[in-house]
Amino acid sequence: MSHVPDITLDDGTTIPQLGFGVYQIPPAQTAEAVRAALDIGYRHIDTAQMYGNEAGVGQGIRDAGLARDQVYVTSKLHNGAHRPDDARRAFDGTLAALGSDHVDLFLIHWPLPTRYDGDFLTTWKVLEEFAADGRARSIGVSNFTAAQLDKLASGSSTVPAVNQIEVHPYHANDDVRAYGQAHGIATEAWSPIAQGQVLDDPAVTAIAGEVDRTPAQVVLRWHIQRGDIVFPKSSSPQRMRENFALFDFDLTADWMAAISALDRGVEGRRGPDPETFDWIPDR
């Protein structure tokens, strides 16, 4: 039923190009939000151990009356669980919280190069175990720089299926995207509308007026035409519906270029710098 295109990943699996992100949705409200998104037609949910709401994701899928294999679910490793036994325990916790025997995609959430002696390779080897035993259909990383991806490649022949990174018009992150493209790593764009901060940019609102769409739809369509995977977050069913209606209009090459011209490089970043980010929240 879904009109959302699938992207084929390097490992041969497919992922819906548009999904629903649940970062900052309170655990007690997550099942309801996920159910609302699934009712609208979303079939891809992006969660993480550190969001604390994996159980709500599992519940929302069951409440929507969907079989587990009708929904693509991603989760990510807690920053405090990079050591092998911690990672194994944390992954068991993800499956228990979701009430599922597998995730479709499991990611190292942050590289944390100044923690764990900078040894994310050992952590990656543990994710390889989850892929080998089938409990993670695909594995990948998040917030990795090109240099960090190189380091991973030097110690492992498993190519991350995706790299989930901050991408939006103010921080186009094209260097890391290009690295991914050259190495078979799909880019997932987090904070695709810069948490709403790009929506009143005059370049965006002008195009929205011309194409008769909302600013959010214009920016999300820009990502889709660039080929990235996106999962905007909203708690309002009306905005969920708006963010899902991206496949019945096109942006011209000129409009695409005008949005791409908003890139401010690292100045445009809204989230932390992956080279220095070292936050480990309480578990």
In the numeric block, which tokens belong to residue 59? 């519940």
Check binding of 233 to ligand NAD (CB under 6 A).
yes
**Piece in contact with ligand NAD (CB under 6 A), picked from 20-28, 29-37, 148-156, 169-177:** 20-28
Kindly report each contact of residues 28-31 with a partner whose C-beta sits within 8 Å and lies 24 or more positions away, as own/partner.
28/56, 29/56, 29/235, 30/55, 30/56, 30/57, 30/59, 30/60, 31/56, 31/57, 31/59, 31/60, 31/63
Question: Is residue 242 involved in binding ligand NAD (CB under 6 A)?
Answer: yes
| Of the candidate residues 100, 142, 173, 187, the single one contacting ligand NAD (CB under 6 A) | 142
Nearer to ligand NAD, 137 or 228 (CB): 228
Q: Which is it for the CA torsion 123, 129, 135, 139, positive or negative?
A: positive
- Given the residues 42, 51, 72, 170, the one annotated as active site: 51
Terminal Cα-to-Cα distance of the chain (whole angstroms): 39
Whether 51 is catalytic is: yes
Among 58, 60, 232, 268, binds ligand NAD (CB under 6 A): 232
Q: Does 81 bind ligand NAD (CB under 6 A)?
A: no
Q: Where in 187-226 is the site for ligand NAD (CB under 6 A)?
A: 190-196, 199, 216
Looking up tokens 């739809």 gives 217
C-alpha–C-alpha distance, residues 230 and 253, integer Å: 20
DSSP 100: S
Position 130 contacts ligand NAD (CB under 6 A): no
H helices then E strands: how many in the chain?
A: 10, 10
Window of 81-89, 114-122, 132-140, 238-246 that interacts with ligand NAD by CB under 6 A: 238-246
Q: Does 239 bind ligand NAD (CB under 6 A)?
A: yes
Q: Smaller CB distance to ligand NAD: residue 18 or 126?
A: 18
Q: Report the catalytic residues.
A: 51
| Interacting residue ranges for ligand NAD, rule: CB under 6 A | 21-23, 46, 109, 142-143, 164, 190-196, 199, 216, 231-234, 239, 242-243, 271
